[in-house]
Amino acid sequence: MSPRGIIPQSILAALLVLMTGCTSTKNRSVALRISMIPTMNPGKIIRESTPFIDYLEKETGAKVELTVPTNYAAVVEAMASDRVDIAYLGGFTFIQACARAGVIPVVQREKDQTFHSLFITQHDSAIRSLGDLKGHSFAFGDLNSTSGHLMPAYFMRQRGVDQAVIDKAIYTGGHDATGLAVANKKVDAGAMDEQVFARMIKEGQLSESQVRVFYTSPSFFDYVWAARQGLDRGMTERFANAMLKLNQGIPEQQPILQFLNASKYVRAVDASYNPLRQAARDTGLLK
């Protein structure tokens, strides 16, 4: 028998295991609710998100819950009603969420600081410039998309495109849907996210024998991860640090960056989005 007051090593080891288990369970009981705007089919985003979610859970110590609704406005509404903690927003949905709920920009892909919209048409189309759009059908993505509606429409007006083209445009709901609508000749032309276009070409969903780019917009700030105002600052920083640590040189992180269509993350700054705010006001989409 052991001397009184001394805990045998076997019992001590068992206690340590129990204590460790309790700590792990406690950490995982904290939920981090994240959401992403549906830049592509929501089901596809959810299916491909597992490496990203696993990584965030490891880095933040929280149980991560991801939702991807069927439209952009639903993400803004969820943030405004405190049903989402951190969301992946487009520039336009970010400034909407700022106006409604004072959300805080956290991080963005480095490429989001110089983003572009691509204007595409069929490979054999007579459309060669914005000036050729008169009399043709046109597609935007979601009404609340930055690169799929706000900025393309803004630049179209700046360059004197016939207003009827903008007014009669259809809304496909997403960048991938716009690309397919043009490829399948449901519309004569459309505007979409340059990164989604590149991914669709790479994955064979679109081919250069079907579509071609006839205009690339000037650059603008776009996508950003933003946190609700009341989220614990420690959690916000753990999320930010997790994103900033992502590195293409680490093999196990490559699937995560591929899912996010990213190579590097940087801190995001609210003032960077002031030009978008002005463009939205100029087009009557933001008061």
Where does the pLDDT of residue 283 fall: very low under 50, low under 70, confident under 90, or very high at 90 and above? Answer: confident
* pLDDT given at position 146: 97
Burial class (CB within 10 angstroms; exposed 0-12, middle 13-18, buried 19+) of 125: middle
Terminal-to-terminal C-alpha distance of the chain:
79
Looking at the chain, how many residues does it have? 287
pTM of the entire predicted model: 0.86
**What residue ranges of the chain are covered by domains with CATH 3.40.190.10?**
9-113+221-282, 116-216
9-113+221-282 fold: D-Maltodextrin-Binding Protein; domain 2 (3.40.190)
* pLDDT given at position 14: 42
Q: pLDDT per residue over 211-267, tens digit each?
A: 999 999 999 999 999 999 999 999 999 999 999 999 999 999 999 999 999 999 999
DSSP class per residue in 157-213: HHTT--HHHHHT-EE-SSHHHHHHHHHTTSSSEEEEEHHHHHHHHHTTSS-TTTEEE
Query: For residue 232, what is the DSSP state?
Result: -
Where does the pLDDT of residue 86 fall: very low under 50, low under 70, confident under 90, or very high at 90 and above? Answer: very high
What value does the mean pLDDT of the chain take?
A: 91
116-216 fold: D-Maltodextrin-Binding Protein; domain 2 (3.40.190)
Q: pLDDT per residue over 125-176, tens digit each?
A: 999 999 999 999 999 999 999 999 999 999 999 999 999 999 999 999 999 9
